[in-house]
């Protein structure tokens, strides 16, 4: 049976009420929570819900959530009043089971929120979204310049900055262009950081003076001409002189290198989006750190950049994924060869309509070469550089990225049409980029498959596999006669059928 709990504000005072609906007759017992509660048997369709580590059929890129609609029968008008209630943004929980204590004896399929509700003479349609909607919001939507400076005072810019986003960095970023927020005192903003590593004037490095200890210290004491002094805790630095040259900066955020990893930055972005620590799997963060401790960095100075966009770029730097599980907890991990003990083994008789094979959309044939782009230059400078700019510095600022490549030409001995793969990352160092290129080459230089396995929710519930768990398949074809291990890269619920997408 499918059991659904919905919460709504039912009056102008915001009084909350919970409503209980199901696909069959059901009532809780005196010892259940809630006790002695009847579920209205009106569910026509509990919705199609899917979470893929990446887009469906792919093994890299953005995490993809698919949610559908709950449809309830309303032929007697019992839900007409719901149009007067506020369900939007309120929680909805979908569970499945065959009986037992409620809720412990039932499997949670999804904890989400209601996006909207519509009622007709015959049906109520409830549109769902999970917490990932938070990530569609702009990172800096509430951090804009007001242009309120009364020069020479102020750090809010003048009219030219009004409405523009205040910058922020996560991890380590190179050669970014910070805005000048006080044109009288020559103060520029980089956002709170651990260190302003270097400041450049038309590509030439300026000399660092003593760090400021406070905003008052910064405003009262200018650096010497040709120098800069930083106040990292406040996120600013001040120039000793300025003649309209292009100012760029290297910035580090995060007190230690362990704070600048893919896992840690995804966690920080999630917290900045409004999630609490309790809504994030810290065990997953630690596990991802153990798999990839490489340093990454992203600079955000555009009010349109969303959390999802930033997190996708960070995740791609380690082949990682992130998304919410059925309990509404943010999970994350990395695609790797399925090698651990399977959480469940599926045989022919477990599959409702047979294993369905399809090639991965982004890896239909083996590849022999992987190129990983790294060390992004956030400000391309191909002209106007100072004469004293070093050759090494010119070489860096004139290119947007650097590249590290791993190859195995022997793959083409068998696979003459073996392809190549180019991955854009926010990795900072060459060593980390080369390590990622070699990891990806090992992953993709052999043939891979995706199998879709539709099973009953009754089989799914006891094992409750999660994204990236290892699932074994056993059937006579495609090398599975003795059992073959796969990574679970997608889960889709539709009624009482759960379709598992298996990669390996």
Q: Residue 329: inside a domain, yes or no?
A: no
- How many angstroms separate the Cα of 382 from the Cα of each of 92, 173, 194, 202, 374? 54, 19, 29, 10, 19
Residue labelled with tokens 């008052």:
216
- On whether the CB atoms of residues 483 and 473 are closer than 8 A, the answer is yes
Confidence (pLDDT) at 103? 94
Does 454 lie in the same domain as 439? no
> Cβ(496)–Cβ(60) under 8 Å?
no
Residue 121: which CATH number? 2.30.110
Instruction: For residues 291 and 351, state if they share a domain.
Output: no
**One domain, residues 168 and 312:** yes
373 and 467 share a domain?
no
Say if 55 falls within a structural domain.
no
State the number of CA atoms in the 13 A half-sphere of 438 facing the CB.
6
272/189 same-domain check:
yes
The predicted pLDDT at position 46 comes to 83
Token pair for residue 115? 């996006």
CA 351 – CA 394 distance, rounded (Å): 60
What is the domain extent for residue 306? 134-319
Q: Which of 107, 129, 151 is the last residue of a domain?
A: 129
This prediction has a pTM of 0.88
Q: What is the per-residue pLDDT for 62?
A: 62
- The Cα 494–Cα 49 span in angstroms is 7
Judge contact between 345 and 472, C-beta under 8 A: yes
Residue 283 lies in a domain: yes
Q: For every one of its 504 residues, what pLDDT tens digit does the chain have, with 9 covering 90 and above?
A: 889 999 999 999 999 999 999 999 999 999 999 999 999 999 998 877 777 888 766 777 666 667 778 999 999 999 999 999 999 989 899 988 888 899 998 888 888 889 999 999 999 999 988 778 889 999 999 899 999 999 999 999 999 999 999 999 999 999 999 999 999 999 999 999 999 999 999 999 999 999 999 999 999 999 999 899 999 999 999 999 999 999 999 999 998 999 999 999 999 999 999 999 999 999 999 999 999 999 999 999 999 999 999 999 999 999 999 988 878 899 999 999 998 899 999 998 899 987 888 877 766 689 999 999 999 999 999 999 999 999 999 999 999 999 999 999 999 999 998 999 999 999 999 999 999 999 999 999 998 889 999 998 888 877 778 889 999 999 888 888 888 999 999 888 887 789 999 998
Taking the C-alpha atoms of residue 503 and residue 492, their distance in angstroms, rounded to an integer, is 15
Residue 466 maps to which CATH number?
2.40.240
Is residue 50 situated within a structural domain?
A: no
Q: Mutual orientation of helices 262-272 and 307-316 as an angle, nearest 10°?
A: 170
Residues 309 and 161 in one domain: yes
Residue that is last in its domain, among 129, 151, 177: 129
In a domain, 271, yes or no: yes
Which neighbouring-strand residues pair with 16? 9
Is the CB of residue 196 less than 8 Å from the CB of residue 232? yes
Examine the domain organization and report whether 224 and 307 are in the same domain.
yes
* Statement to judge: residues 355 and 266 lie in one domain: no
CA quadruple 196, 286, 424, 322: dihedral positive or negative?
Answer: negative
Same-domain status, 73 and 160: no
Does 139 lie in the same domain as 204?
yes
pLDDT confidence of residue 363: 64
pLDDT of residue 135: 92
Instruction: Answer yes or no: is 331 within a domain.
Output: no
Task: Determine how β-strand 38-41 pairs with β-strand 16-22.
Answer: parallel
In a domain, residue 335? The reply is: no
* Residue 214 and residue 296 in one domain: yes
Q: Residue 65 has what pLDDT?
A: 66
Residue 28 lies in a domain: yes
Q: Are residues 184 and 258 in the same domain?
A: yes
Q: How many domains, in total, are found in the chain?
A: 4
d(CA 320, CA 311): 10
Q: Out of 395, 424, 444, pick the residue that ends a domain.
A: 444
């Amino acid at each position: 049976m499918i059991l659904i709990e919905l919460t709504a504000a039912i009056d102008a005072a915001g009084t909350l009420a919970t409503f209980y609906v199901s696909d069959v007759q059901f009532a809780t017992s005196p010892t259940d929570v809630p006790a002695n509660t009847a579920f209205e048997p009106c569910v026509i369709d509990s919705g199609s819900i899917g979470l893929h580590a990446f887009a469906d059929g792919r093994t890299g890129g953005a995490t993809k959530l698919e949610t559908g609609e709950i449809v309830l029968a309303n032929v007697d008008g019992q839900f007409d009043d719901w149009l007067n209630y506020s369900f939007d943004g309120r929680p909805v929980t979908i569970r499945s089971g065959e009986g037992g204590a409620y809720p412990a004896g039932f499997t949670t399929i999804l904890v989400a929120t209601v996006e909207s509700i519509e009622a007709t003479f015959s049906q109520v349609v409830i549109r769902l979204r999970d917490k990932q909607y938070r990530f569609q919001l702009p990172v800096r939507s509430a951090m804009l310049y007001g242009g309120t400076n009364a020069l020479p005072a102020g750090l809010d810019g003048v009219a030219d900055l009004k409405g523009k986003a205040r910058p922020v960095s996560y991890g380590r970023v190179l050669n970014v262009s910070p805005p000048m927020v006080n044109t009288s005192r020559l103060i520029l903003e980089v956002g709170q950081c651990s260190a302003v590593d270097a400041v450049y004037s038309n590509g030439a490095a300026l000399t660092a003076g003593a760090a400021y200890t406070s905003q008052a210290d910064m405003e009262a004491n200018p650096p010497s001409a040709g120098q800069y002094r930083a106040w990292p805790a406040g996120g600013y630095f001040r120039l000793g002189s300025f003649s309209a040259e292009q100012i760029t900066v290297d910035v580090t955020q995060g007190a230690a290198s362990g704070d600048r990893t893919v896992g840690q930055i995804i966690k920080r972005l999630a917290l900045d989006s409004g999630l609490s620590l309790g809504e994030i799997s810290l065990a997953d963060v630690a596990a991802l750190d153990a798999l990839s401790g490489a340093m990454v960095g992203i600079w955000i100075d555009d009010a349109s950049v969303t959390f999802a966009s930033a997190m996708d770029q960070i995740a791609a730097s380690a082949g990682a994924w992130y998304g919410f599980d059925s309990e509404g907890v943010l999970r994350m991990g990395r695609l790797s060869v399925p090698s651990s003990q399977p959480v469940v083994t599926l045989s022919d008789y477990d599959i409702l309509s047979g294993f369905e094979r399809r090639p991965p959309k982004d890896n239909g044939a083996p590849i022999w070469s992987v190129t990983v782009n790294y060390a992004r230059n956030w400000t391309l400078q191909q002209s106007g550089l100072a004469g004293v700019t070093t050759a090494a510095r010119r070489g860096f600022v004139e290119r947007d990225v650097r590249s590290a490549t791993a190859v195995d030409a022997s793959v083409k001995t068998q696979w003459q049409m073996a392809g190549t793969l180019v991955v854009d990352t926010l990795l900072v160092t060459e060593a980390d980029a080369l390590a990622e290129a070699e990891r990806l080459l090992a992953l993709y230089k052999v043939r891979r498959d995706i199998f879709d396995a539709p099973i009953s929710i009754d089989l799914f519930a006891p094992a409750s596999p999660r994204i990236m768990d290892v699932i074994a398949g056993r059937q006579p074809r495609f090398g599975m006669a003795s059992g073959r291990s796969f990574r679970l890269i997608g889960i889709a619920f539709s009624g009482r059928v759960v379709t598992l997408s298996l990669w390996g």
